[in-house]
Structures are given as C-alpha cells and as structure tokens.
Homo-oligomer: A and B are copies of this chain.
Amino acid sequence: MGSVVRPRVVIIGGGFGGVAAARALRDAPVDITLVDRTNHHLFQPLLYQVATAGLSPGDIAVPIRWLLRRQRNVEVLLAEALAIDPVARSVLLDVEPNTLRYDYLVLAAGARHAYFGRDDWAPLAPGLKTLADAAELRKRFLLSFERAERTADPVERAALQTIVVVGAGPTGVELAGIIPEITHTALRREFRHIDTAKTRVVLVEAGSRVLPAFDPALSDAAARSLRALGVELRLGAPVTAITPYSVTVGGELIPATTVFWAAGNAGAPVARSLSVPLDRAGRVIVEPDLSVAGHPELFVVGDLAHVEIGGALVPGVAPGANQGGAHAGRMIAQRVRGAPTSPFVYHHKGDLATIGRHKAVAALGPIKLSGLIAWWAWLFIHLLYLVGFRNRVSVLLQWGYAYLTFQRGVRLLSAPTLPMEDAVPQVNAA
C-alpha cells in the first residue's frame, strides 16, 4: 500500500486559537505541524496570579506536546516563526530546518504590548502576556519591598511602596485589585522597617471608566470595589511620562518605582511579513471566513485577527480565540474535502473580571453580577476551562490555602535575578 501525500497544515502559535485549530482537524486527512516559541500552552486569564505569587507557572501552563499527545496527526515544533512567504507558502523558522512548507496555514501568533509610540517605556513598565513576563513582574513587585525595607530615606521608601498599573481593562483591574490584598495581609508580618499595608496602588486609565469594554453598571461596581480596597483611580487622563522613579498622569507626578503596563495590544510582528492589510494595532484584517483576501489557504485567528462582524470587532478574549481557531480548523477540513467555506459566527460568552480576593463583576448573557456571587462564577468558569486535572486540583488547593491563610507561597527570587542594584532608582523628589 503506497502512502498518500496528505495536505500539510502549519499552525503558528500554541495558545487558545492554535490549539483549537489543531483539535478541530483531529479527524481530517492532514498532517499538522504546530510551531510555538515556548513549549507550553498558557492559560493567560490567570497569569496575573503568577505575577503576584499566588500560583506557580506549572499551575496554569501545560506542555503543548502533552496536550496534543493523543492526536497522532500533529507534531509539535519548538521554534519561532520569523516570517511567512504567502506566495511560496512557506514559513521561515529560527531553527533547522529553516523552511517549513505548508498547504494551509493557521496564524495564531497572538499579540504583544503596545506602547503607542513610546517603546522606551517598555523596560520601565513591563506588561503581562507570557510566563516570562509574569516572572519579571513578580520580581519587581517583590524586590520593591526588599528595597523599601533597606532604605533609610522616607521619600525613596514612599516611591518604592507605590505601584502604578497603567490600563484598566480586565488585566489591569485584576492586577491592581489583588495587590492590596497581599500587602495588607500576606506580607505584613514579615518586614520590620516598613508597613506593607501603606503601599499605594494607583490604577490609571485614559478612558473615562474602568473596564471600558464592559457594561457601564459593571464598571461602576468594579470602581467601587477597587476604591474599597484602597486602590486610587486616575480616569480620563493618559500617562504622559514614565521614568525609573515616577509616572506622570495628566499634570500629576506620582513618585513610583514599580509600573505595570496593561494598556494596549499590538499584533505579533510576524504578521508584517505577509504583505497584507493590517489595522492600526498590527492585526491582520480577515475575510468573513477568517482567511486572508487572496489567500484562501491562510487563516488568522485570535488576538492577531481583526474580525469585524456586523460592524463590531470580535474582542481579543479567550473565547474569541477558541472559537476562531476551531472555525479555521473546520474550514480547512472542508476545503480539503472540496467543500466551500462559511463565515465565522462569534458567540459572546460574557465579560468577567475579578477584583481582589472575593469580588468580581460578570455579564453572562443578560445576567449581570457583581460582588461575591460574581467571584464564584468567575472561579467556576476559570476552573472549568483550565486544562488538565492536575492543574485544576492544584489551583483549587493553592487558592483554598491562600484564601484561608492570606499567604501567597510562590514568592521566590533566585540569585541570578540579582544583582538588580544597578536598577535601584535614586529618588530625589522635587
């Protein structure tokens, strides 16, 4: 029996979109290569918990190989896609073999942070998209208290005990909301020279309300919960300057040495190599079936896709990537058997953001919730979608422990993260 040459599907990215595409092609007569520059699939909605030392990286990430181990038509390649040649139908990789040819491509490479023309802010205000980002945020968060404990200068100490979060979307709100819970409880008994409960948390949003994409009633509820936790809100004013020791918002200079960026997304740079129309955020503008105009074999899904349905953009959230990836996989399967493609239909599952230890806001269909009941909905949905039994049990255990004891166990700094002393700002308040 001779072997039949089956179409080669290349998927770039092992996040929600890429994995959903691979799974949708489980029974299709194709050979799939999934390329990712890390070896793991990451549950990004809980990344803020790793950044604040509540969860271990292993709790919210699983090896992509493990996830797809039973799907025999998939191989996984640890590599970075540097460029795509849509005419030759090939992907340029950073490892041997450097060229990967495809018959169908699913581009699900996601987004990075956008600094709106101020890329010089990136090292001062890191964002949160990967495990490496989370490790960086955790390091800065923990080191700020270590330095505050050492300094004798009250002005420097105040700046070291001020954390500014830029951007009040779900990530910014969740980061800002969890910090007071930690500084008021877990850390408080451990220092001798500072009171960690005096840590200032400032949440900055250029728009007029927190959670701008949510229903205004939920924005109001979230703002109330944040204020009750002691988070200072700065709404309706953009950040105009960031230095190693301050953030300027509107006309106000806030002395602060720790700044987290949650304000904007930019499509992965690999999209630029396609020579197809991108939107202002660097996302690929796709056809109704998620393919690229003129390239019916090339699909873009997830945060890298600009998908307009009925005049509205599909939001860059996990369900959007899941549904888009699955659709692209189904379209490829249809094309392989000679059937036409159909337009993508997006089902909005709702909006969810947690605030601190036991509050949240949620819009699930027509139902709007806030407070403790929304937090339980948030917990239930996140555990439901978290991949892998081990992770679910471990996350529940860690949360149960953290909830009952106010402790956050994963507060580890390795020596190679030091010496950081060249990064210690000298604060000289004007």
Contacts and interface: CB of A to CB of B under 8 A. Distances in A.
B94 A419 contact: yes
A366 interface: no
Contacts of A143: 78
A409 B397 contact: no
Interface string A390-430: 11011001100100010101111111101101001000000
B418 A37 contact: yes
B130 A414 contact: yes
Contacts of A151: 96
A143 to B, nearest CB: 8
A386 interface: no
A405 B63 CA distance: 15
A388 B146 CA distance: 22
B412 A39 contact: yes
Given A150-B77, A390-B409, A70 B189 contact: yes
A397 B393 contact: yes
| Copies of chain A in the complex | 2
A190 interface: yes
Contact of A398 (B69, B132, B394, B411): B394
A116 interface: no
A38 B413 CA distance: 6
A65 interface: yes
Contacts of A57: 56, 410, 412
A409 B63 CA distance: 8
A192 interface: yes
A419 B191 contact: no
A67 to B, nearest CB: 9
A416 B146 contact: no
Contacts of A95: 150, 419, 421, 424
A100 to B, nearest CB: 11
Nearest to A65: B190
Nearest to A414: B132
A362 interface: no
B39 A411 contact: yes
Nearest to A389: B401
Chain A interface, DSSP helix/strand/loop, else mixed: mixed
Interface string A119-136: 000000000001110010
B394 A390 contact: no
A315 interface: no
B413 A146 contact: no
Given A39-B146, A418-B80, A63 B411 contact: yes
A66 interface: yes
Nearest to A186: B66
Contacts of A94: 418-419, 421
B131 A414 contact: yes
11 contacts: A40-B411, A56-B410, A69-B190, A80-B415, A96-B151, A130-B415, A131-B412, A131-B414, A390-B405, A393-B397, A397-B397
Those 9 A-B pairs whose CB atoms lie nearest each other, nearest first: A65-B190, A58-B410, A56-B56, A132-B414, A39-B413, A78-B146, A75-B192, A69-B189, A56-B58
Interface of A: 37-40, 56-59, 61-63, 65-66, 69-70, 75-80, 94-97, 130-132, 135, 142-143, 146, 149-151, 189-193, 388-391, 393-394, 397-398, 401, 405, 407, 409-416, 418-419, 421, 424
Given A58-B410, A61-B412, A388-B409, 7 more contacts: A37-B415, A39-B146, A40-B412, A40-B413, A70-B189, A131-B414, A390-B405
